[in-house]
Amino acid sequence: MRDAVGGEQICNSYHMDLIQQLTKGVISGVQELYGEAPDSGKVSLSVTRKEFEGDYTVVVFPFTKLAKKKPEQIGEELGQYMVNNLPNVSAFNVIKGFLNLSVEDAYWINYLNSISKQEHCYGKQAINGRKIMVEFSSPNTNKPLHLGHIRNILLGWSTSKIYEAAGYEVQKVQIVNDRGIAICRSMVAWQEFGNGETPESTGMKGDHFVGKYYVKFAKEFGEEYKEWQFSKQAEQAYATKKKEGQSEEDFFKAYKNDYFNEYSVLGKKAKDMLLQWEANDPAVRTLWKKMNSWVLGGFDKTYDSLGVEFDKLYFESDTYLLGKELIQKGLEMEVLYQEDKRVWTDLENIGLAKKTIIKSDGTSTYTSQDLGTAQMRYQDYGAEKVVYVVGDEQISHFQGVFEILKRLKEPYAEGLYHLAYGMVDLPTGRMKSREGTVVDADDLVAEVIEEAKKGMVQRGEIADLPTAKQAALFKTIGLGALKYFILKVNPRKRMVFNPQESVDLQGDTGPYIQYAYVRCKGVAKKAQEVNMSLAKGYAALEPQEKVVIIQLFQFPATIQEAAKDYDPSLVASYCYDLAKLYSKFYNDMPILKAESAPAQAFRLLLSKVVANTLSTGMDLLGIEMPERM
């Protein structure tokens, strides 16, 4: 492992050498030509667009004021300086204010030979001694994981793997929301309507079983509410509490939560159960532990099917009373304020309203809990960064929590980050947990695997495989389709997941990239007797080869950028672009029947490196690669 890491550092420094060399060359050239060195921040260096000749493009517009010349003239003079003074720059051309530089083929050939030795670690950084904690999933124990959880889980898992590749020590955690009124709803429903049945007696997965009773509670509560609306209590409530001009229909749509708290028989049972739980009632606690164990066992099966695991679980039942020490500290520092039992703070300076930390009845809020949990995690692990993967509906909540911790001068406050993601819809529309219209994670996984199976059976390319291997392959392709389709979208964007589109072998999909990988591996299998050392004798690159190598060159920087931006979609996009470029190379260039032995060895080596890089990149998304398709 030490050798691999050491080689990895050499490989990545090789990558940085070219970028630094070109950047320094531009700075030196501008200084020598025009008498003053520009700030390095003004040097814009990017990969040349495919419609133009060149490998890297320098924007020369920032130098016009200093040079007192037109951009085209600056480009010509600077380009000539780069060719004359930088050993790896072989040619240049100028398009308006853009200087396109060509890097000599020898550099790219040496680069490919260098990274070919980094089979499992190319693109990754050596361990840097820095710590990061990523919190994701964090479900409620009253229902199964669903499509929204899948986006959360995949984002958290991929972010964790990307940070590991970037050199961090990563702790993967979740906080299980295992207490509260929603949990009591399921418990009351099971008591009232369950007749003693269990997951074992029904053959249901534990989380699905408990979720059934969460939906049952909502259904029975809805029937109770409908019936109540014809009562004298309802008539009196409408007469005394309706808003001006509010119709009876609109009133009762809006009054449902108030009814739950004031009149509902089921609501009272759920609230009483919560009070009994908080009072440590033995019978309620026993039921709570039993039903939570059913759900947690079900969650574990779902995580296992997705290839996800956690280093540590935190439970809200253990953390909901945390934060008291920090609250006392805040009161002493006059960061927080108290009126009777209520504790609050003013967050208007960051565009938020006053925020309650402790309610007027003295009970905790999610803010007080999150303050205490943040402190406990820092004591547990000492991470300089903590990433909370939580939906974007919680943006203002986390802004408030982070701001309070900064005001309290907590040492970890600046390293807290909310990775907010948008909602996932289906082509049929939004989902609602209480109404039982959500798509369970397990059902969705089964659906994409079935879609993958349909396509592969129809193509008939794996009919010779044993049934067990076919089933494993269907799972690899189906999960790859699901994970890629979710992760290719920037986390901040709302998205629609379409199971049928996700398994398409054409376009921006996981199976398309997996197929490119299979092609790479297939070529290698047919060339067992080739002397690969001959690749060093290959002298002149074809355009289709060069663009693939330049794309490979971008991989280490892509990982770093994805870590910096907390954005796995950058890795997904990279893998798709690499697969697309390799597919064009594969179709355009002879490999096994190349024009010379060095060309054959070089193209086989290129195929090997592409396969390794695709495997590494897709692994950062949690996606396995198949050997056949």
For 275-285, the pLDDT digits (tens) are 999 999 999 99
pLDDT at position 14 over 70? no
Q: What percent of the chain has pLDDT over 70?
A: 96
Closest CA to 302 of 495, 500, 479, 504: 479
Sorting pLDDT into bands at 50, 70 and 90, what band is 15? Answer: low
pLDDT tens per residue across span 523-535: 988 888 899 989 9
Q: 2-103: which CATH number, 3.50.50.100, 3.30.1330.90, 3.40.50.300, 3.30.1360.70? A: 3.30.1360.70
Where in the chain is CATH 3.40.50.620? Answer: 131-312+367-425
| CA-closest candidate to residue 599, choices 498, 530, 551, 504 | 530
Q: How far is CA 264 from the centre of its chain?
A: 41
Percent of the chain scoring above 90 in pLDDT: 86
**CB atoms < 10 A from the CB of 556, how many?**
23
pLDDT in tens, 495-522: 999 988 999 999 999 999 999 999 999 9
Q: How confident is the model at residue 338 (pLDDT cuts 50, 70, 90)?
A: very high
Give domain 131-312+367-425's CATH architecture.
3-Layer(aba) Sandwich (3.40)
pLDDT at 431: 45
Over residues 590-604, the pLDDT tens digits come to 999 999 999 999 999
Give the count of alpha carbons within 13 A of 207, CB side only.
21
Q: Which amino acid is at 527?
A: A
Q: 463-485 pLDDT, tens per residue?
A: 899 999 999 999 999 999 999 99
Q: What mean pLDDT do residues 429-443 have?
A: 64
Amino acid at 352: L
pLDDT the model gives residue 294: 98
Q: What pLDDT score does 433 carry?
A: 44
CA 290 to chain centre: 32
d(C-alpha 537, C-alpha 526), whole Å: 21
Give residue-wise pLDDT tens across range 17-42: 899 999 999 999 999 999 999 988 88
pLDDT exceeds cutoff 80 at 410: yes
The band of 2, judged by pLDDT with boundaries at 50, 70 and 90, is very low
Cβ-Cβ contacts under 8 Å for 67 (sequence gap 6 or more): 30, 33, 34, 73, 74
Q: Where are the beta strands (DSSP E) in 26-88?
A: 45-47, 56-59
78-96 pLDDT per residue, tens: 999 999 999 999 999 999 9
CA distances from 96 to 64, 76, 100, 298 (A): 12, 10, 10, 61
Q: What is the structure's pLDDT at 4?
A: 35
**Range of weakest confidence among 122-131, 187-196, 320-329, 520-529:** 520-529
Predicted local distance difference test score (pLDDT) of residue 129: 94
Count Cα atoms within 13 angstroms, Cβ side, for 103: 22
Residue 5 has pLDDT above 60, yes or no: no
Count Cβ atoms below 10 Å from residue 450 Cβ, excluding itself: 13
Measured CA to CA, the distance from residue 251 to residue 237 in angstroms comes to 10
Three-state DSSP class for residue 343: strand
Q: End-to-end CA distance of the chain: give it in Å, rounded.
A: 32
pTM for this model (two decimals) = 0.92
Instruction: Pinpoint the residues of the chain covered by CATH 3.30.1360.70.
Output: 2-103
371 contacts 401 by C-beta, under 8 angstroms: yes
* Mean pLDDT lowest among 55-59, 136-140, 456-460, 483-487: 456-460
Region 262-270: what's the mean pLDDT? 97
Q: Which helix (H) or strand (E) holds 187?
A: helix 181-193
Task: Read off the pLDDT of residues 160-211 as tens digits, 9 standing for 90 and up.
Answer: 999 999 999 999 999 999 999 999 999 999 999 999 999 999 999 999 999 9
Angle between helical axes of 569-588 and 467-487 (0-180°, round to 10): 120
pLDDT of 64 strictly over 80:
yes
Dmax of the chain from CA atoms? Answer: 94
Whether residue 437 has pLDDT greater than 60: no
